[in-house]
A and B are shown apart, each in its own frame.
Chain A
Amino acid sequence: MLIKTNDIWKVYKMGSEEVNALRGVSIYIEKGEYVAIMGPSGSGKSTLMNLIGCLDTPTRGDYYLNNRRVSSLNDDELAYIRNKEIGFIFQTFNLLPRASALRNVELPLIYNGTKGEARIKMAREALEQVGLGDRIHHKPNELSGGQRQRVAAARALVNKPSLILADEPTGNLDTKTGEEIMQLLADLHKAGNTIIVVTHERDIAEYSQRVIYIRDGLVEKEEEIIKMAGKN
């Protein structure tokens, strides 16, 4: 079991009021699965993603990642987990604008102390895996939206994480480019990676194997996706 959340709650204090973003969510995700988390705005899906991604800790309940209870870890330990186990892909790409593609992909390696030759080699390989081997010295403003997202994907992969977490990965892309990126994620899944995509679009969710529906801070239902011949 790669991911196991046990009745997790997330409560925010806004002034004197309490907002229950998640009200007891229990989900299970196996290694190698491709899962989509879907829900409308305000459903808590972003909060759930933050918790799964170890960007935040639950107010109540437990979260086990790779059989390790991460919900009680401190800041530094969480940072370590994020570095080693999780690869993020964001809707707005979130690349460092003044650094080259290679440098952007090197960043996670810099933060875990990988040095010199080995670091450059690993970053280069990740970029080749997403099809950008010939653009490694370009800066983000010299790349198209789709290419930037590919760089983000390479960065997510470079540390060989347990889990790739994509938050609305096609939100800032046109339909065609969006399809290319979803195809990239499908390829990565075929290569053995565990993928979680958070989205509010049905089309995007259907690339996955299973969809978890979130509404009002709770799991509403789960759905297996039956793949039609054309979509895989």
Chain B
Amino acid sequence: MRIQEGAIVAIRAILSNKLRSILTLIGMIIGVATVIAVVSVIAGMNNYVANKINSMGSTTFMVDRYGLITSEEEFREAQKRKKLTIDDMYAVERYCELCDNVGGTSYTRRTVKYESDFLEDITIVGTTSNYVEVSDIDIDIGRSFLETDNDRRSAVCLIGPDLVDYLFPGLEPVDKMIKIGSFYFRVVGVGNRRGSFLGENQDNWVAVPIKTFQKFFGRHRDIEMHIKAPSVARMEETQDQVRVILRNRRGDRYKDPDSFGIYTADSIMELYDNLTGTAWIVLVGVSSISLVVGGIVIMNIMLVSVTERTREIGIRKAIGAKRRDILWQFLIESVTLSLIGGAIGVMLGSALALLVGAYSPLPAVIEAWSVIAGLGIASSVGLFFGIFPAMRAARLDPVECLHYE
């Protein structure tokens, strides 16, 4: 029997008992929907993280007190270390021959005021003048910092777009004076809007030159260094130079591990991949179970269907259906059934992913391959679990079938 004809007959049979068909397909639908939804969310996160990391540049690496922490124990260990200071950074700048560009940032929090409006608990970033290069912030209005700003410890600042919204609605923020903590600063530029990442707002910050930061907010804060190596090939060499300088300055003894952490975009990516790798395995495991269950349900319903249509099978054989005609008929029916379940699952999963993307901090990207894979898996399940009932049907003896009540 032609495949389209078989499919039409199958669809008619499926539609003739919608309730039973839906109940049959629940397992399949859930399995496929889960795959699509989770793959989309993971794809979205991969996308975002990759973008963020790309903006770091492949020749940039970071140095801070902690390094990449993966456990609470590591964190507590790192807490005991000495802070990385701005003098450490100057030392690196001075003595590291391979370092192309050395930048550093330091953080604190203050209340920011403009006239009668104020915002509390704003992150204040003290940064070297290459802030734009080492972060992924672009300046939308005004200008970035100059070396002279830093050298003169000028009280100038860059603000994030949220501050513009709250403190300067409808106004031109550049050249206005805002109060950071107890000190007045002049706004020289506004950063671009970045939205939020994993629930954290990325637009409510204020940046000041690092030397200014130290003048107004203290010298003894943790510094995070961003260092650019001359090329990817020489990155390790550059890192080693920095390591030597810092170990020396900080009194790390020969046998001790580094009292600081060096990490790159790659190592972040590796960590991220490890974490999501686990998520993948869990996802595949859970979905497989769901799909196997779904397949068994379909197989059972097909067996029932075969029994119910014993008479019909007898009639078909009597008028000339060969075994393979009957086999095909029921196989097409179970594949059609599964595909319908798969399609519903794909739609449900996509809807779920979009909801998650819209209403939670997690991003979601619906990938074409996951849709195709979802449908592919559904039809494979239909094929595999449909073979047994179809063979049963094909092997029935026509004489017995015709006498079946």
Binding site for B on A (CB under 8 A): 50, 53, 55-56, 75-76, 79-80, 82-84, 88, 90, 94-96, 98, 107-108, 110-112, 155, 159
Chain B 1-46 interface residues, beta-carbon cutoff 8 Å to A = 1, 5, 12-13, 16
Residue of A nearest to B324 (CB): A76
| Smallest CB separation, B208 vs chain A (Å) | 79
Is there an interface contact between A96 and B312, defined as CB atoms closer than 8 Å?
yes
Complex Cα distance, B398 from A79, in Å, reads: 10
Complex Cα distance, B396 from A55, in Å, reads: 12
Complex Cα distance, B140 from A111, in Å, reads: 73
- The answer to whether residues A108 and B319 also contact, given A55-B399, A98-B16 and a CB cut-off of 8 A, is yes
Chain B 377-405 interface residues, beta-carbon cutoff 8 Å to A = 398-399, 402
| Smallest CB separation, A141 vs chain B (Å) | 13
Offer 28 A-B interface pairs, CB within 8 angstroms, sorted by A: A50-B399, A55-B398, A55-B402, A76-B322, A76-B324, A79-B320, A80-B320, A82-B317, A82-B318, A82-B320, A84-B320, A88-B318, A94-B314, A94-B315, A94-B402, A95-B315, A96-B315, A98-B12, A98-B13, A107-B316, A108-B319, A110-B1, A110-B5, A111-B1, A111-B319, A111-B325, A112-B320, A159-B320
Complex Cα distance, B316 from A155, in Å, reads: 12
Contacts of B402 in A (CB 8 A): 55, 90, 94
Is there an interface contact between A88 and B319, defined as CB atoms closer than 8 Å?
yes
Is there an interface contact between A94 and B322, defined as CB atoms closer than 8 Å?
no
Asked if B109 is an interface residue, CB under 8 A from chain A, the answer is no
Contacts of A95 in B (CB 8 A): 315
The size of the chain B interface, using a CB distance under 8 A, is 22
The winner among B315, B316, B318, B319 for most chain A CB atoms within 10 A is: B319
The one of A55, A75, A90 that contacts B322, using a Cβ cutoff of 8 Å: A75
Contacts of A79 in B (CB 8 A): 317, 320-323
| Smallest CB separation, A109 vs chain B (Å) | 9
Complex Cα distance, B324 from A155, in Å, reads: 22
Contacts of A110 in B (CB 8 A): 1, 5
Q: A76-B324, A111-B325 are in contact. List 18 more A-B contacts (CB 8 A).
A: A55-B398, A56-B399, A75-B322, A79-B317, A79-B321, A80-B320, A84-B320, A90-B402, A94-B311, A94-B315, A96-B315, A98-B13, A98-B16, A107-B316, A108-B319, A110-B1, A110-B5, A111-B1
Is there an interface contact between B319 and A83, defined as CB atoms closer than 8 Å?
yes
Contacts of B12 in A (CB 8 A): 98
Complex Cα distance, B101 from A55, in Å, reads: 89
Contacts of A84 in B (CB 8 A): 320
CB-CB contacts of B297-334 with A at 8 A, as 1s and 0s? 00000000000000110111111111111000000000
